[in-house]
Amino acid sequence: MTPSLPDLLRRPGIVVAPGCHDALGARILRQAGFEAIYMTGNGLSASLIGAPDLGLLTMTEMVARGRAIAASIDVPLIADADTGYGNLNNVVRTVREYEAAGVAAIHLEDQATPKRCGAMSGLSLVPPAEHAAKLRAALAARRSPDFLVIGRSDARLVNGFEDAVQRGTAYAEAGADLVLLEMLQSPEEMREAVARIPAPMAFNVVEHKVPPLTAREIGELGFRLLNYPVSSTLAYAAMMRGFAESLRRQGTTLAPEAPPLLPLHDYEEILGLREAYH
């Protein structure tokens, strides 16, 4: 039986959950051996509507993609749930919709509406008491204790490290299953946050925005869950740009310098075509 996310977190070591924006990416990550997957809001905004992560997607759009990704894999899916899409009543519905969709965990962030990707400038935050109330509402709304609620703060780049830790502590005291502080800027900050916040800690790797540490190094600092939210979407965008430029320049997809294409047989294997025939 596939371990639940709480089961994975009870094991020694860090749980690594690479991000993806679609079910194909989720299947590839799972077949590579990862035991948890992350659904990126940034990547979904790019892949669904071709727009930056500015809070443009609705809860129903996010949940629909979460349902499709969760159904395509046999491991826990952790999902971005932005700010909960409104007030406390919206947060209750958000939790119930994500849980019913088969998602294993969500994180709720303390940004004001309209929100932005945590790596962007110009973020604004709600008071920590307001976000703590959302987290309590989310925890009360879940039907299974195995559905985890992660309290996220984007305060580090807005108000500094100390405010981020104080907010993380408030979210832990509100009962969040894990706490996620975005954009910690050094291993020292990371280590101190783990030591001071009374809850298991998650970390998001956004390349060139946080310290360039390996998963092992981040685990050694005391973090329990590690997400790579937008990395695979950046890889996809780089591949697609190279593919488009090569095809436009060469007039063929088979030029020697063109990006390599996955053999059709391998592609069908990823999707389980052989099993579908039985």
Specify if 273 maps to a domain. no
CB 238 within 8 A of CB 230: no
**Closest-CA residue to 201 (of 174, 172, 228):** 172
Residue 234 lies in a domain: no
Provide the pLDDT for residue 23.
Answer: 97
Domain-embedded: residue 134: yes
C-alpha distances in angstroms, 275 versus 23, 35, 270, 272, 278?
A: 17, 22, 11, 5, 6
pLDDT of the residue at 256: 87
pLDDT of residue 115: 77
Average pLDDT value for residue range 165-174: 98
In a domain, 189, yes or no: yes
Domain assignment present for residue 236? The answer is: no
CATH number for the domain including 89? 3.20.20.60
270 is a domain residue? no
Say whether pLDDT at 100 is over 80: yes
Q: Which tens digit of pLDDT belongs to each residue from 178-230?
A: 999 999 999 999 999 999 999 999 999 999 999 999 999 999 999 999 999 99
Domain contains 242: no
Tens digits of residue pLDDT in 123-166: 889 999 999 999 999 999 999 999 999 999 999 999 999 999 99
Percent of the chain exceeding pLDDT 70 equals: 97
Asked whether the predicted pLDDT for residue 122 surpasses 80, the reply is no
pLDDT at 274: 80
pLDDT band at 17; cut points 50, 70, 90: very high
Tally the domains of the chain.
1
Residue 127 CA to residue 136 CA, distance in Å, equals 15
The pLDDT of residue 126 is 96
Is residue 16 in some structural domain? yes
Higher pLDDT, 124 or 173: 173
Q: Is the predicted pLDDT of residue 118 greater than 70, yes or no? A: no
Closest CA to 178 of 194, 159, 156: 194
Strand residue runs (E) in 205-244: 225-228
Task: Look at residue 246 and tell me whether its pLDDT is greater than 80.
Answer: yes
Q: Please tell me the predicted confidence (pLDDT) of residue 123.
A: 80
**Does the pLDDT value for residue 116 go beyond 80?**
no
Residues 17, 225 contacting (CB under 8 angstroms): yes
The domain containing residue 130 runs over which residues? 5-229
Q: Is the pLDDT of residue 277 over 70?
A: no
Mean pLDDT score of the chain: 95
Q: Which residues contact 176 (CB under 8 A, 6 or more apart)?
A: 135, 139, 149, 150, 151, 199
The pLDDT confidence band at residue 275, using thresholds 50, 70 and 90, is confident
Q: Determine the residue type at 12.
A: P
User: What value does the mean pLDDT take over residues 57-75?
Assistant: 97
How would residue 2 be classed by pLDDT, with cut points 50, 70 and 90?
A: confident
| CA–CA–CA angle 76, 143, 27 (5° rounding) | 15
